[in-house]
Chains A and B, each alone.
Chain A
Amino acid sequence: MLTEGVSLIDSRSDRVVMEPNPTYWNPERKPTVRIVYDNGIGKDEGIKSVASGDGRVDVVFDLTPAEAKTFPQSDKGRIQTKKAKTILTGVFNETKPDSVWRDPAVRQALNRAIDRQFVLDQGAHGYGTVIPAFIQPGRYGADPGMSPIPHDPEAARAVLEKAGLGGREIMIVASPSWQGVVAAIGQCLSKIGLSARFVSDRGALPEDFDVKIEWYFDWTPQYPVACVHREFFGKDATLRQGPEDPEFDALYEKLLHTPAERTEEVVREVERYIQDRSKALFLYSPFTLFAVSDRVAFTAYDTCMSELAETRIKG
């Protein structure tokens, strides 16, 4: 039960407090602790508090790979990881009619230029899993026959040079959290005579950027295309950087009107379509990262939501 404070899209109270509902019907999810979201404590301060065991903070959400990697040695707290339903992917700038990124072969070539495991290991300290497109292997809708686009720098070089991109600097817009990822992409590109320039997404989006890195997550009950794929490529997508794609929209319509028992095959068809057309610069699925006090048994959610019903105090 919410007993203090509010959290809105554009603002939140200094404290939001939730207390257990003693009459809740589900014993498996009946909370045993009061939860205080302390919005007056910054992330850095929260991480330090968990590591020091000073008792002010028990769980910090949404650590970056760098924050997790530099978490101090501590017997009071630890880094907890979760293979959540996430993606980190690059959106091609296809806004101009003459953009080279409107050509699927060029998009595929940039995908072939990238060594994803290297990008993950070098750029994000290995906190993630390389996946074929937008769905993790083993999840609902994952196609067991799909694998990541292979790393083939020489094939990539030939196509990119033919497209007039030889020697070019690729401008990549991203959150500062992913600066290491952009640097690792740059190292991959340097092997074929290209380079990458990081531009922070905190300012206005430059008109002439090439790729924009986006982190996204799937909170749905086994319906990833509506939440994730549509958000990137659908006619009502908020992350699309180019024209509408009638082929994608037709697949989405088909999914909506497919009986529930047959939807998974259509989800796989969508996954294959976005990879076949190299609709994005596919990178990897980032783990969600938490700093957690040792006094707490924290249950993280694959949806990336901070649902805390199962979180307990140890002992």
Chain B
Amino acid sequence: MDAQATGDPGGGNAWGPHNTVTVVDPSPVNWLSITWNTMEEANRVDHDGIGQPSLAESWRWLDGETLELKMRDAVYQDGEPYNAAMFKLGFDKVQEWTNPHPPGAFLNFARDVTCEAVDDRTIRMRFPGGDSAALMKLRGMHLPSTRFWNEWGFIDPKTGSAEGHW
């Protein structure tokens, strides 16, 4: 993959042994580690195993069914601004598939969950009947740039599908 294809802004950083860490990782979930090293989500889990804000800087339950998230001011490595519309795009994309997450359907949002970008920074998600697993599910909802969606989109080239390939 060349630098342009990844949105690498370049900058002439000379990589060599002095600034390279070489890793051997036989874990069967290495694919997930790579994803979480190179993508970002609304929230993450820190090295002590505690949930933390990430692309969402905060959230609160407005009532038992409505989660409001405030988005961070950030920029993708290809220069595209991150905002609430990008969160909404990520949600719409994941909802296109029946069972996109390799670990299983427990990560799926129900079909009746809705997501609204109230303004550039605010997302409101509605979970009819409530869903205390919402933040866990958001940890698995990757939020890449438009370019990623247009060029890759988690589609398996062998099958043309993103089922089980998120």
Give A residues with C-beta under 8 Å from B. Answer: 1-5, 7-9, 12, 16, 18-25, 32-39, 41-43, 45-46, 55-62, 84-85, 139, 218-223, 226-227, 230-231, 234, 236, 238, 255-260, 263, 296, 299-311, 313
Q: Which residue on A lies nearest to B57, using beta carbons?
A: A25
State whether A259 touches B8 (Cβ < 8 A).
Answer: no
Give Cα A2 to B22, complex, Å: 15
The 5 closest A-B pairs by CB, nearest first: A221-B51, A302-B49, A46-B24, A223-B136, A306-B33
Decide: B34 and A37 in contact? CB cutoff 8 A.
Answer: yes
Task: A18-B38, A19-B13 are known; give 6 further A-B pairs, CB within 8 A.
Answer: A55-B17, A58-B21, A219-B139, A221-B135, A256-B131, A257-B132
Q: Which residues of B contact A307 (CB under 8 A)?
A: 33, 36-37, 47
CA A231 – CA B104 in complex, angstroms?
9
- Number of B residues contacting the other chain (C-beta, 8 Å)? 59
A sample of 12 inter-chain contacts (CB < 8 A) reads: A2-B38, A16-B34, A23-B9, A34-B15, A37-B24, A60-B25, A84-B49, A221-B44, A221-B50, A234-B106, A302-B45, A306-B30
- Residue in A closest to B19 when the chains form the complex, CB atoms: A33
- Residues of chain B within 8 A (CB-CB) of A16 are 34
Contact of A36 among B23, B29, B43, B45 (CB under 8 A): B23
User: What 1/0 mask marks residues of chain B from 125 to 154 whose CB sits below 8 Å from any chain A CB?
Assistant: 000011111011001000000000000000
Evaluate contact between A305 and B36: CB separation under 8 angstroms: yes
User: Known contacts being A9-B31, A302-B47, is A18 close to B37, with CB within 8 Å?
Assistant: yes
Chain B residues with Cβ below 8 Å from A58 are 21-23
Find A25's partner among B21, B44, B74, B102 (CB 8 Å cutoff). B74
Find out whether the CB atom of A226 lies under 8 angstroms from the CB atom of B136.
yes
Q: B23 is contacted by which of A8, A57, A222 (Cβ under 8 Å)?
A: A57
A38-B47 contact, Cβ under 8 Å, with A3-B6, A223-B135? no
How distant is the Cα of A231 from the Cα of B105 in the complex, in angstroms?
Answer: 11
Instruction: Give the complex CA separation of A86 and B73 in angstroms.
Output: 35
Smallest CB separation, B113 vs chain A (Å): 13
Interfacial chain B residues near A57, Cβ < 8 Å = 22-24
- Within the complex, the shortest CB–CB distance from A86 to chain B, in Å, comes to 10
Query: Which chain A residues lie closer than 8 Å to B11 at the CB level?
Result: 22
Contact check, B132 vs A34: say whether CB atoms are below 8 A apart.
no
| A3 engages B1 (CB within 8 Å) | yes
Closest to A219 in B: B45
> Judging by beta carbons under 8 Å apart, are B17 and A43 in contact?
no
Is there an interface contact between B132 and A259, defined as CB atoms closer than 8 Å? yes
Which chain B residues border A19 with CB–CB below 8 Å?
8, 13, 15
A220 surroundings in chain B (CB, below 8 A): 45, 51, 136, 139
CB distance from B110 to the nearest CB of A (A): 10
Residues of B within 8 A of A24 (CB): 77
- C-alpha spacing A139/B22, complex, angstroms: 32
- Alpha-carbon distance A58/B9, docked complex (angstroms): 27
Contacts of B6 in A (CB 8 A): 1-3
Cα separation A22 to B13 with both chains bound (whole Å): 10
- Say whether B72 faces chain A, with CB atoms less than 8 Å apart: yes
